Structure 1
Amino acid sequence: MALTIYSTLTNSKQEFIPQEAGKISMYVCGMTVYDYCHLGHARVLVAFDVITKYLRSSGFDVNYVRNITDIDDKIINRANENGEKFNALTERFIGHMHEDEKALGVARPDMEPRATNHIGDIIAMTEVLIEKGYAYACDNGDVYYRVAKFEGYGKLSNKNPDELLAGARIETGDIKEDPRDFALWKSAKADDVSWPSPWGPGRPGWHIECSAMTKCCVGDTFDIHGGGPDLPFPHHENEIAQSEAANDKEFARYWMHAGAVRVDGEKMSKSLGNFFTIREILDKYHREVVRYVLVRSHYRSAINYSEENLKTAKVELDRLYTGLRGYDDVEVLALDQLPQGNRYVKAFTEAMDDDFNTALAISVLFESVRELNSATANKAADASEQAQILKSLGSVLGLLAENVEDYMQAGLSDAGLSADAIEALIAERIQSKKDKNFQRADEIRDELKEQGVVLEDGAGGTTWRRD
């Protein structure tokens, strides 16, 4: 089965054929860094991390680029509120973003361009657009893109330019030729953050930043452009208009957008009090449980975040980890190194080749763990190989990377009994059994259960996990 990708540009699944055989260039719109990353950011981070992991594990050479917007109205306003320089603010939150992605098991991109490092490229592209008649400079130093000039405007978001004009508001004193036109360069006001340009001091508009960075990092035409659910219009639509007008070439060949995150069925919003940062969630739940919630749904579907879903995810992930007890030492292999005739490898690959269907891929993991449990119970000769397949398939999704007991025993640093206290009570319970003091042994089990610790007695002794 060939790899197919649902492209937002065509609203259909297409067979994926990279420009260059065996190599993939992918650019994903990243964060605007003025605050902590939230759950919606986590969705995009994890979705494209899984996509990258799968492509690489399948043998592709992937150049994954994710940009940083480090100059923006929100950044300037927040820095002014804090009484600090804008770049001190952005540097701090870039550091926090890297901490959050590491905590979620998200690998860093190959390139992470920042808008402020590409001011010269932005100015150069703006000059080309002016020269070609796709942009115009105003007397006040602003530069705008001439939307009516670009024939294909609206092809990504399926918006009719005439309808956009009818719905556009014309502001008093607006210097634009057309209400639909958008800023490529914004003239500086007094004490604004600014850079010199042919039109006077100013700073770039948001959309032109990505057009300049894609050109530098992945070329005029590249394979995959990705981002969050709110980006097709206007951001990605404007990127297409800028880049294709400036470069006279097709921009991105496939467009991928992650689904939205809802909280208890409602849109995540600070005003509703249901807005969660990544670090707030990771203070309550193990990182793989959070990641599991994000990958068990197809990347294009909306995710409903709730306490109940997180608890269910913990139970399901526990089942996979329980099957791997005793197999911590098995080597994790890339997908293309696993036995291709194995039915689980084949089913997993087919699921992921179908537009990265992680929901179906996870169901394959549960089929695999059922067979592993049977093989372990019967001491089958191929049990270790089955464990290796399960763990290797899980790693493509960024799951099953922990030592089993470390995962099972993981809990909040300030929650319940410490691991040493639990081990001491288990030792006391073992001794109580030896002394035939079964009442005390039962009391210890009950005490631990009340503290959220589950004991599991087996042939190899007693193990425990946090519930």
Structure 2
Amino acid sequence: MKIYDSVQKTKLAFNPLQEGKVSLYVCGPTVYDDAHLGHAKSALVFDLLTRVLRANDYDVTYARNITDIDDKIIKKAIEQNKSIEEITDFYTASFHKEMEAIGVNKPDIEPKATQNIEAMIEMIQKLIDNNHAYVTSEGDVYFDTASDSEYLTLSKRIQDEEDKQERVESSGLKRNSADFAMWKSVKDDTITYPSPFGPGRPGWHLECSAMIEKHLAQEGTSAAVDIHGGGADLLFPHHENEAAQTRCSSNHKLANYWMHNGFVNIDGEKMSKSLGNSFFLKDALKEYDGEVLRFYLLSTHYRSNFNFNSEDLSTAKKRLDKIYRLKKRLFGLADNTESSKFQVEILAALSDDMNVSTALALIEEMISNANETLDTPGKHKLLKKETISNLKYIETILGFGVKNPFEYFQFGMDEDTKEKLTSLIAKRDEAKKEKNFELSDTLRDEILSFGVNLMDTPQGSFWEKV
């Protein structure tokens, strides 16, 4: 495998810390609002990465955190007169549901910030003891950026005096303007945790460093994890600060490889809540099948900025439709797991820093060749078996084509109508069994009146939305 490292800005051969094993950590959501397309893009990219790693026979441990304590969460809880848990539980459940809808597999580990406060306090204390952090007279704890000679080597950034790294107003008690909070003293009655530095809450950057160290780091390795990932917007300050904390509190660096996915733009504009174009995933799922969104958001290279627009989304749907139409032609035939040249080529493309463009071109070629052969008299049994195997491989490694091909084409029909159609088809099947062809024809016409196509197959009767 080859991976583009965001820090060295070059494609590198992938060599894990431990032979045959891979540890991957990706920054997850802060659960105070619905997931947007940026969250979806990042989750999909690293879902694909885990699939490719596993296809290369690596034993992968994938962790994605949940930030469930944050000033924004507290603000929303106060505004809605709800508890912190009500807010975080609701948006965590929504996030999980929407990730499932776009085919994102659950991570192996999903640590929550509130469940790892002790690990965070332990890391802060180490940094204070090592003279890399200091406690202010108000009880805040800051990382001393001047104490770290390697600070900013991750982002290659030149520090601007005006840079503000915190999610709260900058304090005049900081030694340097670049110093960032690891523990924020809290004097009000919102929510606090006890600590040797006084009651307060952890800083955002600290959470990931501490959770990585607790859940993934191994003794005697040169880095806490093999790969650390997230959106490009996290490189500075979040990942820069994470790396500094880990480096200065332990005897290893944070990650061997850094991977960042590009931004999502909406019709050419950078997605931003302040611009009013932060497209929520739940809204997109009302208009399009989750797998269509998956196909579309993965259709360009993960490092490229992604321009989301309805025209390209429709084009992506047509490309995914081709997979399902081929799958429909082979519906009901036994699964086949034999490997093929196509599968070797797909894995080679995706192992090259997830070259999805080449992978999709290979899929288009495979579909075209399969359909051409199936259209020829005297269809080849060997070709059918190989095609079924190829479609199964696409499902596994890319997450495309996982649905029943008939049900896929039913998207957009409301549940009540689906139930009516299911009932009508069952009645029609019964009429056909009883050789009541007049009733069968009447029921068929009623089914077609819903704006669907009806297909009779050896496995039963199915419908799809026109």
1:326-350 CA-to-partner distances (Å, cap 9, x unmatched) read 23544375xxxx52xx331222122
- 1:360-387 per-residue CA deviation (whole Å, 9 max, x = no partner) reads 2111111111122123223112122222
C-alpha displacement of 1:444: 9.8
Alpha-carbon distance in 1 for matches of 2:236, 2:256: 17
1:262 aligns with 2:265: yes
Secondary structure in 1 matching 2:176: coil
Counterpart Cα distance in 1 of 2:459 and 2:113: 57
Matched, 1:116 2:119: no
Q: Please state how far the C-alpha of 1:37 moved relative to its aligned partner.
A: 1.0
- 2:393 is matched with 392
Q: Does 1:15 align with 2:13?
A: yes
Task: Evaluate the alpha carbon distance shift between residue 262 and residue 454 of structure 1 in structure 2; reply closer, same or farther with a 3 A threshold.
Answer: farther
Aligned twin of 2:322: 319
Q: Match for 1:164: what amino acid?
A: D
Q: From the superposition, tell whether residues 360 and 419 of structure 1 become closer, same or farther in structure 2 (CA, over 3 Å).
A: farther
1:380 paired with 2:380, answer yes
Q: Deviations over 1:141-174 (max 9, x none)?
A: 00000001111111121102xx4337669x8970
Counterpart Cα distance in 2 of 1:393 and 1:460? 23
1:173–1:287: structure 2 CA closer, same or farther, 3 Å change rule? closer
Change (3 A) 1:24 1:168: closer
Whole-angstrom CA distance in 2 between matches of 1:62 and 1:191: 42
**Corresponding residue of 2:23:** 25
Structure 1 segment 66-465 matched on structure 2, within 5 A: 66-160=64-158, 163-165=159-161, 174-219=172-217, 221-325=224-328, 326-331=330-335, 333=337, 338-339=338-339, 342-378=340-376, 379-382=379-382, 383-413=384-414, 419-420=421-422, 451=451, 453=452, 465=464
CA contact (8 A) 2:231 2:260 kept: yes
Structure 1 residues 297-322: Cα deviation after superposition (integer angstroms, max 9, x where no partner): 11111222122122112211111111
Match of 1:153, SS state, is: coil
**Is contact 2:24-2:227 (8 Å) kept?**
yes
Letter in 1 for 2:335: E
Q: Percent identity?
A: 39
CA contact (8 A) 1:28 1:66 kept: yes
Q: Is the 8 A contact 1:26 1:63 kept in 2?
A: yes
The answer (yes or no) to whether the contact 2:101–2:291 under 8 Å persists in 1 is no
CA distance in 1 between counterparts of 2:27 and 2:256 reads 16
Q: Name the CA distance, whole Å, in 1 between partners of 2:81 and 2:187.
A: 18
C-alpha distance in structure 2 between counterparts of 1:34 and 1:131, whole Å: 34
Residue 46 of structure 1 aligns with which residue? 44
Aligned Cα RMSD in Å?
2.9
Q: Unmatched 5+ residue regions in structure 2?
A: 218-222
- Gapped runs of 5+ residues in structure 1? none
Cα distance between partner residues in 2 of 1:305 and 1:113: 31
Deviation digits for residues 118-162 of structure 1, max 9, x if unmatched? 1111111101101111000011000000001111111121102xx
Query: Match of 1:58?
Result: 56
TM-score (norm 1): 0.87
CA contact 2:421–2:447 (8 Å) conserved in 1: no
Q: CA deviation at 1:20?
A: 1.1
Distance (whole Å) between structure 1 residues aligned to residue 124 and residue 336 of structure 2: 48
Distance in 2 (CA, whole Å) between partners of 1:298 and 1:121 is 36
Contact map agreement 2:17 2:226 (CA 8 A) in 1: yes
CA distance in 1, matches of 2:196, 2:189: 19
The 1-side partners of 2:150 and 2:66 are apart by: 27
Alpha-carbon distance between aligned partners in 2 of 1:118 and 1:395, rounded to the nearest angstrom: 33
Give the secondary structure class of the aligned counterpart of 2:400: coil
Identify which range, 140-149 or 404-413, moves more after superposition: 404-413
What's the TM-score, normalizing by structure 2?
Answer: 0.87
Letter in structure 2 aligned against 1:354: D
Paired letter, 1:331: D
Paired letter, 2:331: Y
Give the distance between the partners of 1:372 and 1:173, measured in 2 at CA: 65
**Distance in 1 of aligned mates of 2:448 and 2:352:** 47
**Residues 314, 123 of structure 1: CA spacing in aligned structure 2 closer, same or farther, 3 A cutoff?**
same
Q: Secondary structure at the match of 2:79?
A: helix
Cα contact 1:365–1:390 (8 A) shared by 2: no
Distance 1:328 1:13, change over 3 A: farther
SS in 1 for 2:303: coil
Aligned-partner SS, 1:350: helix
* Separation (CA, whole Å) in 1 of partners of 2:301 and 2:368: 23
User: Aligned pairs, how many?
Assistant: 442
